[in-house]
Amino acid sequence: MSILKKAILPQELVSKLFNYAMSKAKELDIKISIAILDDGGNLAGFIKMDGASLISSQLAQNKAYTAVGFGLPTADWYPIIKDTPSLLHGLVHTDRMTIFGGGCPIFIEEQLVGGIGVSGGTADQDAECAQAALHAIEEL
């Protein structure tokens, strides 16, 4: 019998992801909320920058949930479903499903370990902050 080794989302990385995302937000002059979930969809960390909107808190969590739930960035969903009305109208009614930018899966050693969700700017700005956060993985 072989035992599979599972990568985990360490808390030290969660802190670095926050710092990278907030640094990019400051560069873009936006105020964001950031949610990080583990591979089970559990909240590993959350931060709301001073001045970030209230609704961005929930949107960030939903983006992280969608990203970890499918292992795809949230921005990838609309192009996939836009030409299939049943998917377009059905998936958007799925609880916590988000189909615009700002959510990215987190992979360590090619294993899905979590998701990050960013909200507070435009969908492109949110995606840019989430992508910037992922550079923290290179420091592991």
Rounded to two decimals, the pTM is 0.94
Within the chain, residue ranges assigned H as helices are 11-28, 54-70, 77-81, 85-91, 123-134
Q: Please give the helix or strand (H or E) that residue 18 lies within, else none.
A: helix 11-28
The stretch 106-116 carries a mean pLDDT of 97
pLDDT number for residue 89: 83
Confidence of residue 30 (pLDDT cuts 50, 70, 90): very high
Query: What CATH class has 11-139?
Result: alpha beta
Going from N- to C-terminal start, the domains of the chain cover: 11-139
* Alpha-carbon gap, residue 62 to 126, rounded angstroms: 13
Beta bridge partners of 37: 43, 115
Give strand pairing partners of 107: 112
- Average pLDDT of the chain to the nearest whole number: 95
The confidence score (pLDDT) of residue 87 equals 87
